[in-house]
Amino acid sequence: MSDRRKNQFRFWPEGYDALQRLSRTVKGSGIDPVLLELVKMRASQINGCAYCIDMHAKDARAAGETEQRLHGLSAWRETPFFSARERAALALTEAVTLVSEGQVPQSVIDDAAALFPPDALTEIVYAVIEINAWNRLAITTGAPEPGSYRGAVFPEEGSTALRP
């Protein structure tokens, strides 16, 4: 992506700051860090945001996620690797991310609501909304080069992340 494209979208720091505040709020919620990274990585896979896929795979590993589960995430329905709660959160993630294809099915909400209390369910929905916003911003403005994120995995090197 050219510097020209990146520079076209640097004129509203308040908008960027608002999205960063949402990120901090989601990160500080009660969502299990591994589940949060799985949700963010799955939405990023659907949206085709290479930078965010790389970021959330690294952050998931740092939170204790296994390579096997990360490799199976795009086909989570076909694997035995994920718990009922994770499956419900991933189904909700996909439904919200793909909302342009149709409404979020009530059955998806009901399945998730059976496994998460109302506050946790709401936190997951906000996490999905947050990562979808970051994916769209990164794809539109030109995210940093995939592979350049260091964040949780290599904190001593700092982060070139689009978001904290």
Residue 145 above 80 pLDDT? no
pLDDT band at 149 (very low <50, low <70, confident <90, very high): confident
The arithmetic mean of pLDDT across residues 81-110, rounded, is: 97
**pTM given for the model:** 0.87
Q: State which CATH number among 2.40.50.320, 2.40.50.140, 2.60.40.1120, 1.20.1290.10 fits the domain covering 15-147.
A: 1.20.1290.10
Cβ neighbours for 4, distance < 8 A, ≥ 6 positions apart: none
pLDDT per residue as tens digits for the range 44-55: 999 999 999 999
* SS3 at position 81: coil
Q: What is the pLDDT of residue 148?
A: 77
Higher pLDDT, 90 or 154: 90
Q: What is the pLDDT of residue 2?
A: 58
What are the structural domain ranges in the chain? 15-147
The arithmetic mean of pLDDT across residues 34-45, rounded, is: 98
Q: What is the pLDDT of residue 143?
A: 72
Helical spans, DSSP H, in 98-117: 106-115
The arithmetic mean of pLDDT across residues 27-33, rounded, is: 96
Q: What is the pLDDT of residue 162?
A: 43
Task: Confirm if 75 and 90 have CB atoms less than 8 A apart.
Answer: no
The arithmetic mean of pLDDT across residues 88-110, rounded, is: 97
Task: Confirm if 126 and 39 have CB atoms less than 8 A apart.
Answer: no
Give long-range contacts, CB 8 A cutoff, 24+ apart: 120-126: 120/30, 120/31, 123/26, 123/29, 123/30, 123/31, 124/31, 124/35, 124/39, 124/89, 124/92, 124/93, 125/92, 125/96, 126/22, 126/25, 126/26, 126/29
Q: What is the pLDDT of residue 10?
A: 72
Helical spans, DSSP H, in the chain: 3-8, 13-27, 33-47, 50-62, 67-72, 84-97, 106-115, 118-141
